[in-house]
Structure 1
């Protein structure tokens, strides 16, 4: 079968809400409507690591960006971002199109707009250093699959190609 050679980079929790801090999960597993939209466009999904999960595990309390922004956590985010850049460069070397970066609004690690999350700060800085500018998308803080999320799905449907 021929590959589409299209990939989107996705914040970990889009595909696995089980790693989201209690009680903030908004799905039993993956955000089904987002995943189905991406799959319908024959785009592969590359799941980025979850720095919060790696750093403090599943039983962690809800924390702000300021609480996470320690030298140890920032070092972890830099390491994870560096590994992600190597993956992006491999995709590009092999002729793949990275169609975008999907973040989570208001996340202390994976927010792209507003108060940018720590992991996204590191990742976007490294991407820029490589001369790679990606289209960005961000799951709204109030997103849920179904009717409550239909505006977001409609919004990104025309932008992800």
Structure 2
């Protein structure tokens, strides 16, 4: 903003900033999670996460669900390896990740005042596509969980880095979100103190 004072032009920047997070689709819309006959239908958002994000003053960008947009519902639960074996699924994730990275880049580039900062990418713990920490592996008739990125998050991380963005990624367990939300609170607090 410019203003004149006694013939002198002075530039004053207000440096307004807002923070947002990009969240896995099912955090805001649980009905896209895998579902088969006999499983209870999940509705609405994960309320604890929504309330926590609101209380931290964080806006939300909803990322697409790679599993739902490829398979729809009903669909069975699958491991990361089982999704990797589906013909065309990795390419589908790449297309969605590129679109998401471009959207985030556009939001951060075109927002001048207030400046929008994407504080974190929030994935879903134990998801074969959207986890940041633990991914499912098939063991007999069930699953075991090992350290790793989900397919979509792995590709999204690469696509964001290719556009020059290095955004922290965290996972939230939608059944018990406290630990993930605590991590996010520390991240938000740290970013606020680092920015002055």
TM class, shorter-chain normalised? 0.7 to 0.9
More strand by percentage: 2
> What is the DSSP-based 3-state SS (H/G/I as helix, E as strand, rest coil) of the residue aligned with 1:6?
strand
1:36-63 Cα distance to aligned partner (Å, 9 max, x none)? 1111222110000001001110101111
Q: 1:109, 1:117 within 8 Å by CA — same for their partners in 2? A: yes
**Greater RCO between the two (CA within 8 Å, min separation 6)?**
1
Question: Aligned ranges for residues 50-129 of structure 1 at < 5 Å?
Answer: 50-69=65-84, 70-95=86-111, 96-113=116-133, 114-129=147-162
Question: Matches of 1:26 and 1:138 in 2, distance apart?
Answer: 22
Corresponding pairs, count: 154
The answer to whether structure 1 residue 28 and structure 2 residue 43 are counterparts is yes
Q: CA deviation at 1:129?
A: 1.4
Q: CA deviation at 1:128?
A: 1.3
Question: Matches of 1:25 and 1:33 in 2, distance apart?
Answer: 19
Q: Which has the larger radius of gyration?
A: 2
More helix by percentage: 1
Question: Matches of 1:44 and 1:7 in 2, distance apart?
Answer: 4
For structure 1, which runs of at least 5 residues remain unmatched after alignment? Answer: none
> What is the DSSP-based 3-state SS (H/G/I as helix, E as strand, rest coil) of the residue aligned with 1:28?
coil
Q: CA deviation at 1:28?
A: 3.4
Question: Matches of 1:94 and 1:47 in 2, distance apart?
Answer: 18
Q: 1:16, 1:30 within 8 Å by CA — same for their partners in 2? A: yes
Over aligned residue pairs, what C-alpha RMSD do you find? Answer: 2.2
For structure 2, which runs of at least 5 residues remain unmatched after alignment? Answer: 1-15, 134-146, 190-196
Q: 1:17, 1:25 within 8 Å by CA — same for their partners in 2? A: no
TM-score (norm 2): 0.71
Question: Matches of 2:180 and 2:94 in 1, distance apart?
Answer: 30
**Which residue pairs with 1:38 in the alignment?**
53
Q: 1:106, 1:115 within 8 Å by CA — same for their partners in 2? A: no
Question: Matches of 1:127 and 1:151 in 2, distance apart?
Answer: 25
